[in-house]
Copies of this chain bind each other. A is one copy, B any other.
Amino acid sequence: MDFEFDATTEDLRARVRDFLDSEITPAEQVFEEQLAGSDDPWAWSSVPVLRELKDKAKTAGLWNLFLPGANGAGLTNLQYAPLAEITGRSFLAPAVFNCSAPDTGNMEVLNEFGSPEQQEQWLKPLLRGEIRSSFAMTEPDVASSDATNISTRIERDGDDYVINGRKWWITGAMNPEAKIFIVMGKTDPSAERHRQQSQILVPRDTPGLEIKRGMEVFGYDDHDHGGHAELAFHDVRVPASNLIAGEGLGFAIAQARLGPGRIHHCMRSIGVAEKAIELMCARADARTAFGKPLSEQGVIRDWIAEARVRVEQLRLLVLKTAWLMDTVGNKGAHTEIQAIKIATPRTVQWILDHAIQLYGAGGLSQDFSLAKAYAGIRTLRFADGPDEVHKASLARRELRRQAEARG
C-alpha cells in the first residue's frame, strides 16, 4: 500500500495545473465576453478563445488525457483521476483538454464498441476536438434510473432504424456543434429485462429530430457548455449501420461507460470542493464581524475543518475506485463505483452550501462561482440514477455478501 502518485502522474499534475493557472483561468472572463457577444448563445464551443486554448493544450500534449489506449493519452484511471480533479477548478478546463462530458463517454463507447466506419466518421473528429456530441438517455415521463422504463422505440424497418420518443436533459445538445447523438432506446420490448435496449447514432441534422428547448438548472440554462435539451424524435430514420455493437447491447454499453464517467465526475467535483475551501478561507480572513475576522470565529473554523476532513476521506475512496477499475475492472469495483456516486455530490454540496453561507448574498450571485457550482453538483445526486437507487443496490449486495460469509 502506497499513497504516492507515480512519476508520470506527478509530472502531468504539475503541467496541467500550470496550464490551468497560466492559460485557462485568466481566459475565463474573455470566454464569457466572447460568448455573450456571439450570435448564438448556445454555440459555446465555437468561441475563439476556447479554440485557441484547445490548440495550445494539444500542442502541450495535454489532450484526450481521459482516454486509455493508443487513441488517447494512454493513462490508467488512477493516473487520470488527479488530473480530472485539477480540471474541476475551472468550468472551461475540461473542454480545453478535450476531456468534457458527455464527449468523453461517447468517445469511450465509440472507441470500444464502434465499427470502423463509426469510428472514422465520428470518433476521429471528436478525438481531434472538431465536433461535439450528446448522449440521449433520460426521458421526461418515466423514472429513467430504471433502464427498463425507457420508452423510446428504435424499430427496424428494412435497412433503417426508425426512432420515436422524447428525451430531456440531453447535455450539450443545444450547441449546434453537437453533431452526433448517441440515443438509447428499445429495439425489443419483449426481450429479457436488460436486453431490450440498444444504442444508435443519430446525426444532428436527421429529419424528425426536434430540439425543443433548453432545460434550466435552478435559473441557469448552462449555455456556456451547451445546455440541456429537450428532444423529440418523430419517425427519425437512420441506416441500420448506425446501431452501436448490436441489438440488445444498449444496457451493457451504458454500464461500461458508467465507471470511468463516475471517476471523472467525482474527481472534478473534488476539484470544485477544493476551490470552495480556498474561497472560504480567503473570505474568512478578509471579513470582520463583531470585532474579529470570521477566520477566528469558532463556527467558521468548524466548517473549514469539516470541509477538510470530509474531502480527504472522499478523495481516497475515489482514487481507490480508480485503482480497482484498473486492477480488477468495473465489475470488481461495483460497490466502490456506487459508493463514490453516493458520497461525492452530498459532500461537495455540503461544502458549497457552507461556502455560500460564508459569502452571504454574494455567494448566491453571479459574482462568485459558488452558486453555479452548487447547481451543477446538485444535479449529480440524481444523474445516472438517484442516490437512493444506488444505496438500495449497494445494500442488497452487502446483505448478500454478509449472508454468504455467515454461510
Contacts and interface: CB of A to CB of B under 8 A. Distances in A.
Contacts of A145: 289, 360
Contacts of A362: 140
A398 interface: yes
A113 interface: no
Contact of A302 (B277, B290, B391): B391
A39 interface: no
A342 interface: yes
A6 interface: yes
A219 B398 contact: no
A108 B192 CA distance: 60
A143 B308 contact: no
Contact of A366 (B216, B284, B383): B216
Interface stretch (A11-19, A92-100, A310-318): A310-318
One complex includes copies of this chain to the number of: 4
A142 to B, nearest CB: 8
A317 B357 CA distance: 24
Contact of A282 (B2, B309, B360, B406): B406
A375 interface: yes
Given A218-B375, A219-B375, A402-B277, A298 B298 contact: yes
16 contacts: A3-B320, A3-B324, A149-B288, A215-B366, A217-B371, A228-B361, A277-B402, A281-B398, A301-B392, A301-B399, A305-B391, A309-B342, A309-B343, A312-B339, A313-B316, A357-B387
Interface of A: 1-6, 9, 78, 138, 140, 143-146, 149, 168-169, 215-221, 228, 277-278, 281-282, 284-285, 287-290, 294-295, 297-306, 308-310, 312-314, 316-317, 319-320, 323-324, 335-336, 339, 342-343, 356-357, 360-362, 364-367, 371-372, 374-375, 378-379, 381-383, 386-392, 394-396, 398-399, 402-403, 405-406
7 smallest A-B Cβ distances: which pairs?
Answer: A219-B219, A298-B298, A219-B220, A301-B395, A218-B218, A305-B391, A316-B316
